[in-house]
Structure 1
Amino acid sequence: MTAKIAILGASGYTGAELVRIIASHPGMEVAALAADRKAGMAMRDVFPHLAHLDLPTLVTIDEIDFSAIDLCFCALPHVTSQQVIPGLPADLKVVDLSADFRLRDPAAYEKWYGQPHQAVELQKEAVYGLTEFYREEIRGARFVAGTGCNAATGLFSLVPLFRAGLIDPDSVILDMKVGVSGAGRSLKENLLHAELSEGWMPYAAGGKHRHLGEFDQEFSLAAGREVRVQFTPTLLPANRGILSAAYVQGDAAALHAALVEAYQDEPFLHVLPMGQVPSTRSIRGSNMVHLGVAAERAKGRATVFAALDNLTKGSSGQAVQNANLMLGLEETEGLMMAPLFP
């Protein structure tokens, strides 16, 4: 049986990435596509790279017959999801790609997003969508909240190390280089080519980035105590990809061995040989994550590296991975595409 899929917010980058993945997925079929300003348009006119596909016309959410839908991806803007999802059928399986349901504590949500949560009861139901760490909960879930792309990169790097007690929780520094598509498709002055190209720009510095809420939540859970890491992302003039460097206090060989053990059976997470470092070129357009560990010259110091594609494993690919579990399909189905190179 092929699952009928609806995508809300299909005119954004993550919506287009979902369509790209599902187009070759043997167990899913795109049955409905919703957009707001672009309702009534053909998907080929919004995204010409999808012109070869036979896709439904974009409609408003109200026009979708959800009784014919098995699972819905919500690739809607922040705040919009918590307004829309409570109005969907109560038995509909949903994977949300926004930030609205990632934080379990309503007070933490209000702290990081500046307003009270509008769907607290639904927030309690959401399962955090970091597949490799919440696989069984996701398998039985109706509603899954996808992680932030920066958050996923840092969590893959460090959660096994916090769990094993191999790093000092009070001295972790996360430095990430981030591709511009992570900011979404809406028009922003700082993302114009003339203002972005030929330069790098740190943003949300000084502990202001909202993904710190996810780091606080998941790192503290893994460590069994409060963890507050230092985190600075830097915007690069590149379309896709995140490269993270986590500067930690711990034995490099032990850290590498712990990551190898944690991920040895994971189809999408690959730990490089000791001393090798990943590149965003090697994972572009794929659901793969490459990790590496390097010993620093100061004794007891190491750097843990991770690279993933923010639109695929960081968002839409991970969403499909979660949906596979929710629908009783093979977790890897539709996701084993090789990275694009060069």
Structure 2
Amino acid sequence: MFKIGILGATGYAGQQLVWLLYNHKEVEIVFLSSHSYSGYSFSDVYPQYDQFLQNLCIDIHNVEKKLVDIDLLFIALPHGKSFEITKKALDLGVKVIDLGADFRLKSSASYEKWYNLQHECIDLLPDSVYGLPEIHRENIKKAKLIANPGCYPTASILALTPILKHQLIHPNSIIIDAKSGVSGAGRKASIPTLFAECNESIKAYGVAGHRHTPEIEQETSKIYGQNITLSFTPHLIPMNRGILATCYGNLKEKCSQESLYKIYKDFYENEYFIRVRKNLPETKWVKGTNLCDISVCVDERTGRVIILSAIDNLIKGAAGQAVQNMNILFGLKETEGLEMLAMTP
């Protein structure tokens, strides 16, 4: 049994981690930590765990004392909050999977520009591994520090990777239009995510300046082999969870729908969590799962390709991907604890 701790356990992503790991056969949850609910039982915060998980949430100071008791620390905190504890964990030989943004960008200057915050662990950036398993599996196996991707980047990068690998589109023609459920904003009290504010409405936000933009550009540039500048616009929609990303690009030459479908099927042939579908993706068919559904369409009239992908933002876009990374890191069956399908209705 591998021993793990979760820092930021009472946020939505943290709770999703607890939910997944509680049913995982190969791990033991040693501690749960929460800034807002220190001293409370986890089941007081999330009553579905009553009589099943009675752990008291501990504060950050007790986390530091307990690092010697674990093999892996999951960090589910806002950006800027992971630096100090990550250093301490790594110094003690504890592996770290950070669900936040602090180690995703390889350039500290880019981080400081987009997050308006000084990076305090520049020395760790060269060794951090971007934890998108379908792209970086071999590096994840050897990692000590894994930067779990953001939810929008996960959906967008997985959608674009095959066509970028084959260099079939003009790299600077990419436009990503993505929509997310309200849980993507986290569990904090916020006027824009109140029911009366977001229900019966849809809105764009972070237009021409969302912080996931450099993350998507960084990874797609690596895949394509040259710098990519793209347009990314996220939207908030009135549902609990799910992301639908619609990605557009100008084809370099004529391609048939079937040829592109085959490229995608072949590329993801051995990926359990990727389903390349002829039907258009819908968030309800991936809700509550670690799956990513992708479809590719050719608009012959305009010479554009349109790729759509759907994920659950809290699972494949956060906690499920973190568990997938953990499984790879520890040499476990990659699908362990993640083999669930969507529930309907």
Q: Which residue number corresponds to residue 262 of structure 1?
A: 267
Q: In structure 2, how many angstroms separate the alpha carbons of the residues matched to 1:104 and 1:284?
A: 31
How far the C-alpha of 1:89 sits from its partner, in A, is: 4.5
Give the distance between the partners of 1:154 and 1:183, measured in 2 at CA. Answer: 18
Deviation digits for residues 105-157 of structure 1 (CA, Å, limit 9, x no counterpart): 11111121112211111222210011111101001111100001000100000
C-alpha distance in structure 1 between counterparts of 2:169 and 2:47, whole Å: 47
Q: Which residue is 2:339 aligned to?
A: 336
Q: CA deviation at 1:249?
A: 2.0
Amino acid at match of 1:137: N
Write out aligned runs for 1:113-152 (5 A). Answer: 113-152=115-154
- The corresponding residue for 2:163 is 161
CA contact (8 A) 1:152 1:314 kept: yes
| Distance in 1 separating the partners of 2:213 and 2:170 | 18
Separation (CA, whole Å) in 1 of partners of 2:49 and 2:296? 38
Q: Conserved in 1, the CA contact under 8 Å of 2:73 and 2:89? A: no
Which residue does the alignment assign to 1:101?
103
Residue 29 of structure 1: aligned partner: 28
* Residue 331 (structure 1) shift: 0.9
CA distance in structure 2 between the partners assigned to 1:28 and 1:55 by the alignment: 17
Moved over 4 A (4+): none
Q: Which moved more, 1:326-335 or 1:298-307?
A: 298-307
Matches within 5 A, 1:292-303: 292-303=295-306
The residue type paired with residue 321 of structure 1 is: Q
Q: Output the amino acid matched with 1:178.
A: S
Range 248-257 or range 68-77, more displaced: 248-257
Counterpart amino acid of residue 54 in structure 1: L
**In the aligned structure 1, how far is the partner of 2:275 from the partner of 2:159?**
11
Residue 52 (structure 1) shift: 4.2
Distance 1:186 1:291 in 2: 31
Counterpart-to-counterpart distance in 2, 1:55 and 1:135: 35
Structure 1 residue runs without a partner (length 5+): none
SS in 1 for 2:245: strand
Q: Which has the higher mean CA deviation after the structures are superposed, 26-35 or 64-73?
A: 64-73
Instruction: Give the residue type in structure 2 aligned to 1:49.
Output: Q
- What's the secondary structure of 1:134's corresponding residue? helix
Tell me the TM-score normalised to structure 1 length: 0.96
- Superposed, 1:173-188 pairs within 5 Å as 173-188=175-190
Identity between Structure 1 and Structure 2 (%) = 39
Distance, in Å, in 2 between the alignment partners of 1:241 and 1:198 is 17
Alignment of 1:57-96 (within 5 A): 57-64=56-63, 65-90=66-91, 91-96=93-98
CA distance in 2, matches of 1:11, 1:306: 28
The answer on whether the counterparts of 1:175 and 1:246 sit within 8 Å (CA) in structure 2 is yes
